[in-house]
Amino acid sequence: MKRNLISLIAVLLGTFAAVEPAAASDPDRYVNPTIVTAAPDPSVLRAPDGTFYLSSGSGIWKSQNLTDWTWARMAFEGAQDPGDGHLGLKGEVWASDLNYINGKYVMYFSVSVWGGEWDAGICVATADSPEGPYTWQKKLFSSKEVNVQNSIDPFYIEDNGKKYLFWGSFSGIFGVELSDDGLSVVGEKRQIAGKGWPDSIEGTCIYKRDGYYYLIGSRGSCCEGLQSTYNLGVARSKNLFGPYTDKNGGLAMDNCYEPLLQGNDLVKGPGHCSEVIVDDNGQTWLYYHGWDVNRPDEGRLAYLGRLDWIDGWPDMGTYPSTGDKKPFIRPAKP
């Protein structure tokens, strides 16, 4: 997936003071966007003490309530920055994915450059604290090594006692089994969704609910400012590796998805969602990025959307929300 230079510069230069959105008139409601500086491709993790962490590339924010975020730190320090070639890949850190695996904080991330689709790859780093600093461990694979063009946008999931990593862009979505510590590939790649921009997906997540696996991904262009056409689509399956279908039985391998979220007059190009987040009342939520029409120079900002379920399918109300009642979150453990 292309990455907007303005967004990257905003993160790297430390424009992190502007993370608080305009105050809502109702203290029980939040206002979108919840992070008003560049935070593309958000991943959200809730630590064991209840604190939420959001990663975007190498940047990490934290929150006690999922809506009010403060800047934490850059994930990597100095020579540990994996974008400098230490892991056999050169470029920028894209689309990090935060996880807690066997008592360790594990970050999967892409390393790539604009247009370098055969030189991209997926790497992994670990830390003792959710906000880092993270220590790079290894390159899991490159596009050339697995013969998957544009191997970016990792997503980790555990299922039936095993660990898996899914990834991919407009050349298809693939998955592979990982070792128990999540630091090595142990299986053969399997494809679960088709290729062919602009109808294929990238930036995927998978969520299991009531016997179905829901594959959510982004179609269209992510990084053309207010001309971006990014939108979210969803397909589901009874099995982790598919086949995934839309409501009419159309296959995700043929790029058939149900529409989930699209841009409007306020937000352009909403997409690349986080993991599905469940609050303490059981309500599901989804973070994603989008271009605010009123401040496009800020890059892709972070938005929170309520994810409801209607007749076995997720629903976000078609368009990005300007705000909603805050998620119910119990206080973090002291």
β pairing state of 202-209 and 212-219: antiparallel
Please indicate, yes or no, if residue 304 is contained in any of the structural domains: yes
Report residue 241 as tokens. 């590796």
Please indicate, yes or no, if residue 230 is contained in any of the structural domains: yes
Show Cβ contacts of residue 232 under 8 Å, excluding neighbours closer than 6 positions. Answer: 216, 217, 218, 219, 259, 260, 261, 262, 270, 271, 273, 288, 316
Please indicate, yes or no, if residue 330 is contained in any of the structural domains: no
Query: What pLDDT, on the 0 to 100 scale, is given for residue 89?
Result: 84
> Which residue matches tokens 């790649």?
189
In a 10 Å sphere around its CB, with 0-12 CB exposed, 13-18 middle and 19+ buried, how is residue 98 labelled? Answer: buried
Query: What pLDDT, on the 0 to 100 scale, is given for residue 24?
Result: 54
Please indicate, yes or no, if residue 332 is contained in any of the structural domains: no
> Which residue matches tokens 């997926």?
122
Query: What pLDDT, on the 0 to 100 scale, is given for residue 78?
Result: 78
Please indicate, yes or no, if residue 331 is contained in any of the structural domains: no
Please indicate, yes or no, if residue 116 is contained in any of the structural domains: yes
Interatomic CA distance for residues 290 and 145, integer angstroms: 32
Please indicate, yes or no, if residue 78 is contained in any of the structural domains: yes
pLDDT averaged per 10 residues in sequence order, the chain, 334 residues: 41 41 73 97 97 97 98 89 77 95 97 87 96 93 96 97 97 98 96 95 98 98 97 98 98 98 98 98 98 97 98 98 96 80
Interatomic CA distance for residues 297 and 58, integer angstroms: 20
**CATH assignment of the domain containing 43:** 2.115.10.20
Contact 314, 307 (CB under 8 A): yes
Q: How many domains are contained in the chain?
A: 1
Return the number of other C-beta atoms located less than 10 Å from residue 33's C-beta: 26
Show Cβ contacts of residue 77 under 8 Å, excluding neighbours closer than 6 positions. Answer: 133
Helix/strand/coil (H/E/C) assignment for every residue in the chain:
CCCCHHHHHHHHCCCCCCCCCCCCCCCCEEECCCECCCCCCCEEEECCCCCEEEEECCEEEEECCCCCEEEEEECCCHHHCCCECCCCCECEEEEEEEEEECCEEEEEEEEECCCCCCCCEEEEEEECCCCCCCEEEEEEEEHHHHCCCCCCCCEEEEECCEEEEEEEECCEEEEEEECCCCCCECCCCEEEECCCCCCCCEEEEEEEECCEEEEEEEECCCCCHHHCCCEEEEEEECCCCCCCECCCCCEHHHCCCEEEECCCCCEEEEECCCCEEECCCCCEEEEEEEEECCCHHHCEEEEEEEEEEECCEEECCECCCCEEECCCCCCCCC
Report residue 262 as tokens. 């699209």
**Which residues make beta-bridge pairs with 20?**
none
Report residue 225 as tokens. 């400012």
Contact 59, 74 (CB under 8 A): yes
Please indicate, yes or no, if residue 204 is contained in any of the structural domains: yes
Question: Which residue segment(s) compose the domain that 119 sits in?
Answer: 5-325
